Each structure stands twice: as structure tokens, then as C-alpha cells.
Structure 1
């Protein structure tokens, strides 16, 4: 794709019919009349203007600012999601090393104009997207040449898409092959993450000449406890690999109520492994994502893009199997 010539602040001022200083005040949130603000933002929108924050930082001897965007419109609580603190720690560690700062903001991403205003007003050089957002918003970010990296997700709509995420095929392989190595043949899979998980599961089970048809429950992240128990009543397998830690805990609760021993009667592996897993009895076997490393890699990749590396890449990180007492 041919790179468009950068639009200058002078062109925005001319288009809006205001002075350069007025444009600067509006973009930096220092105040201007409502009419002037409307003119400036309309010009910014039409010209797809994006200020050169890196050059400004060099002139003013200040740090560039990265934004971590957490959407409000997702069907689950991204703020309370236990995977985010580790990702954030990795980001902060890396940006300190690279002499950047970070701003975390929570916004309704369905309104791109509002999102664009925040990016301009706060002087964000690029975005780390901690949770999925729509393909339409990603398209707008690309059109406005706003660098971004998707952290632990990707949008298959785009062939060229910048992301850093856990290798889900590898995660599936680690879990299922461990269960098989322990002698389990009747294995069920609970999946809400990605089709690649079911595909990998089927391939491994077929290769091992084990039954695989009808053993995958493709559900949603918002599955109810009642739905999990109904599933277990209908299809109680000898072992499970669950890609939902809430479902994992319900399986443990179900086994306790039904008098089923773990792993003697039912074995369980959970995708993700948090320190609090060791507080449960029996201690839960899990496949752990390298979330801190993910944050570091995402921040480094975004900074490279901001500083002129036009190559758009996707990176996969191998998870780790943590064996405890449920297998």
C-alpha cells in the first residue's frame, strides 16, 4: 500500500479557517471556543491528520506516550480479568527501558471519532489493544496511520495485522498430549477461544487413534454455571482440558459434589495458570501463558513501529505446562 504524504498542522489550520495556535490548543486540550473546536476536529477528520509525536518529544525533551486501550463494550469484565496485571507489568517494564510513558484509558471503541480525539488530545504515539475491538475500528486506525499492537488476540480480517499472542495450537498440544501420556483416552475439550483449538485437538486425537468426534464443547466466555453442570451431567468424560478457568472451577466443584475423585475418577487441565490455583485442593494442573513476556514484546514491537519500522508482524509465544495434582 502506497504511504500517504503526512498532513501538516498548517494544512489543518487552513482547512479549518483558524490559526495554527488554535489548532495546537484544540489538539492539546488547552481550550478554544466550541465553534473553533468543531472546525478543527472536522478538518482533522477530513485530512486524517496525525501529529508527529516523536519529533515533538525530541524537541521538548519529553517522553513519548503510549496508550493502553481497554474497551467498555465487551461482554465480560476486562478490568477484573486476572490476565491483565501481568501483561501490564511487562509493558511498564519495557517502556521504562525504552524511555516511554504509558496512559491507560477505558473507552467505548464503537465511537471512532471520540477515540481519535482522545489519541490527539493526549498525544498518544500508538496503542496497545488489550482486548478485541471491531474490524471497522482497526481499519480506521490503519487509515489514520495510528500504530497499534493487539495484545493476546488477532483479527483474521487482515493479513497484515500487528499482534503478540499465545500460541493456542501449542497450548492445546501441551494439554492433550499430557493427558494422553498419563493414559487418558476419554478426553473432553471445553473451548470458547478459537477454532484452531478444536482443529488441533482433533488432529492430535486422530493421530493417537483415540475417539474425537463429539468431544468438543464450543461455548462462550459467558457460559453459566448451570450450563456447565448440564454439560457435565450429559457428557461426563474421564478427563477434560478446559479453556475457561471459571469452567475449570465448576468441574472441580461438580466432582466434589458427585463424590468423584481427582484425578482418580476425573482428570482436569485448565488453560491459564495463576498462583491462586495452588490454594485449591487438589491443586490444579494448568497451561500457563507467558503474559509478562507478552507485554514486553508488545511494547517493544509498538515502539519499533512508531520509530519507523514499517514491517507489520504477528508473534506467537509458547505457553508452559504446569503439572499439579489434577492429572
Structure 2
């Protein structure tokens, strides 16, 4: 039998002992007795359990490991804002890293306007018997809801702020934003505007704070940022109509808004980067194909997934994991930023 599974429901996760039990129509303890050769099992039941294991393409060694450790070998993941590039990419990275360690991932998505479903998500995942929980890209309100839960399992939050109650892992948002603004300052820009993400998002806050701190430390003026909604449309509206004054650069809090900013600026008759430079954050797969190709900050989601799973497994084993584990981002310089010229 193969060590990889192709579940019948189309999910990419590996089935657990509970999935095998459900397929066979028995309890997980019956599956345990079958695998351990218990004599008081009817032959028809034994055959049904073994057939379910074969049908689900699952290795008995993995199930045996789950039985021996009293674990389900499954991580529960709450995905806050699943439609955004960061949360979606982080989930895929977590799934890949978990598979490498013999674990599966069960995910529950919470829409941007429905943070109260965090309660439903926690209940859903706990019902599946997960060994730990991970919350991806939380908004402050979602994390507040989670704090009220009595879970009794290791919890890790994907955010770069330290947390007194839970472990965290993240790409260092402040470091990435600082690199972006420092790049613009090194080019000679002195008035650098910021189009931020929604202020309830921790990542947006961190990027805005780093932008403000870097300008302050350089002795440059800090003008009030405009708050976008992560979408290209909000960037477009900003680029088309915002009063730029004497600004020569815009730092957009993600690549999608940066794309919209460039579109809006060009439509109003400005050239990028000749008249104004634009820099983003994320390094979307298509960022290199924007016109002009976008200077941005690359988030290493694969490394983040491996780091988060490593920290969770350490916590599951009762070890001491890092309270705040960070991955360093990378500045990617392309054609949307240049030395400022007078307009």
C-alpha cells in the first residue's frame, strides 16, 4: 500500500484512524484492536477494517504510530481571510510541511466579514480530534474570539507580534517593510506615502509601523497613510485620485494594491517609475510581469510552513518551542522603483 493517500472526497489531507473507522462503520478502538491482532474481533469486522485501510491507500505503520502515541496525526488550521494571497499561501505551505512529517491538516476557513465563525471552526476541528491548532493571518477580532475558548491543545498563531499566551511564527513583517522603505530612501526619495492594508490585520499594522519608524529615524516627514482593503480596486482608486503633493514614492502594503496604484497613476498621466516609484509586498507569482515589473518584498511561505509545523510538533511533544519564531523576507528589486526626478 502507498504511504500517500488520495481520499475519496477530494481532500488533500491524509485520513486518520477516525476516517478509517468511519469508512468501516466501526469505532476507532475497533480499528486499534484489528491492527493489534486482538482475538475477540469477528472476522467480518476485521475484513471490513482492513478493506477500508486498503481503499483509503493508507499505511498501517502510520495508523499504528497514531495508536502508539495516542495522537490523530492531524493539525487543525483556522484560516482567517482565506481569499487573500498570504493566508492561502500559508495554508498550502502548512499542508506540505505537515505531510513531510507524517501529519495531515484539517482546515476551517473564516470569511473576512464573519469572524464569529471562529467558534464554529474551533468546535469543528476539535471534533475531528486534532493534536494542535494553528490560526493563520488573524485579525485582532478573530484572535480575541479564540482567546475566549478553552481548548487544552497547543496553539500557534501566524503573526509576527509576540503573544503572552500563545506561540507565534511568521515572516518578519516589520523587517520586510523596513527594507522596502529603506530601499526608497537609499534611492533618494524623501516624501514616501503609504497605502496600508485594513488596520484590523496584524500584518497591515506591522508594515505601517515599520514604514513610520523608518521615516522617523531618517528624519523624514510622516504623512497619514490611506487605508485600503488589500484589493487592486482600492489601489486603483488611490492611484487615480489621491493627492500626491510632492511625493515621489508610494509603498503599498501588498502587491495587489500596488498593481492598482500603478494602473491609477498611469491613467491619470503619470509614469512609473519616472514620475513616481511604487513598491509592494508579497512578491505575487505575477509581480515580475506587471508593467513595469514590480519591486516588492518576497515572503518565503514554504519556509514559514516548515517553521510553524516544527514549532507545533515540538509543543505537541511537550518540548520548549520558540515563543516567537520568524522567517526573514527578501527585497526583490525590479523596474517600478528608481531615483526620483522632479515632476
- Name the CA shift for 1:106/1:173 in 2 (closer, same or farther; >3 Å): closer
In the alignment of these two chains, the number of paired residues is 270
Cα distance in structure 1, aligned partners of 2:250 and 2:122: 44
Structure 2 residue aligned with 1:91, among 89, 94, 99? 94
The Cα of 1:270 is off from its aligned counterpart by 0.3
TM-score normalised per structure 1: 0.70
> In the alignment, does 2:307 pair up with 1:297?
yes
Distance 1:112 1:84, change over 3 A: closer
Q: Is the 8 A contact 2:239 2:262 kept in 1?
A: no
State the alpha-carbon separation in 1 of the partners of residues 144 and 210 from structure 2.
30
Do the aligned partners of 1:190 and 1:219 also contact (CA within 8 Å) in 2? yes
In structure 2, how many angstroms separate the alpha carbons of the residues matched to 1:228 and 1:144? 43
Answering whether residue 181 of structure 2 is matched by residue 171 of structure 1, we say no
Q: CA deviation at 1:286?
A: 0.4
The answer for the alignment partner of 2:151 in structure 1 is 144
Task: Give the 3-state SS of the residue equivalent to 1:233 in structure 2.
Answer: coil
Does the C-alpha gap of structure 1 residues 89 and 79 become closer, same or farther in structure 2, counting only changes over 3 Å? closer
Equivalent residue number for residue 122 of structure 1: 128
**Deviation of residue 239 (structure 1)?**
0.6
Which has the bigger relative contact order, CA under 8 A and spacing at least 6? 1
Q: How does 1:69-218 map to 2 (within 5 A)?
A: 69-71=78-80, 78-106=81-109, 110=116, 114-132=120-138, 134-141=142-149, 143-152=150-159, 158-192=163-197, 193-210=203-220, 212-218=221-227
CA contact (8 A) 1:88 1:292 kept: no
Give the TM-score normalised by the residue count of structure 2.
0.67
Per the TM alignment, residue 61 of structure 1 is displaced from its structure 2 partner at its CA by 9.0
Instruction: Name structure 2 gaps, 5 residues minimum.
Output: 1-17, 28-62, 198-202, 338-343
CA contact (8 A) 2:240 2:265 kept: no
Check conservation: 1:161, 1:314, Cα contact below 8 A.
no
Gaps of 5+ in 1: 1-24, 33-53, 72-77
The verdict on how the C-alpha distance between 1:322 and 1:149 changes in structure 2, with shifts beyond 3 A counting, is same
Q: Give the C-alpha shift of residue 112 in structure 1.
A: 6.5
Say if 1:245 and 1:270, in contact at 8 Å, map to a contact too.
yes
Indicate if the aligned counterparts of 1:186 and 1:239 stay in contact, CA closer than 8 A.
yes
Greater Cα shift, 164-173 or 227-236: 227-236
Q: Closer, same or farther in 2 for the Cα pair 1:298/1:234, shift >3 Å?
A: same
User: Deviation of residue 190 (structure 1)?
Assistant: 1.8
Alpha-carbon shift at residue 199 of structure 1 (Å): 3.8
Matched, 1:246 2:249: no
SS in 1 for 2:85: coil
Over the aligned positions, Cα root-mean-square deviation in angstroms equals: 3.3
Contact 2:71/2:131 (CA < 8 Å) preserved in 1? no
Tell me by how many angstroms 1:267 deviates.
Answer: 0.4
Secondary structure class of the residue paired with 1:205: helix
| Deviations, residues 149-185 of structure 1 (Å, cap 9, x unaligned) | 112465x7x4232111122221121111111111212
Question: What is the alpha-carbon distance in structure 2 between the residues aligned to residue 112 and residue 279 of structure 1?
Answer: 37
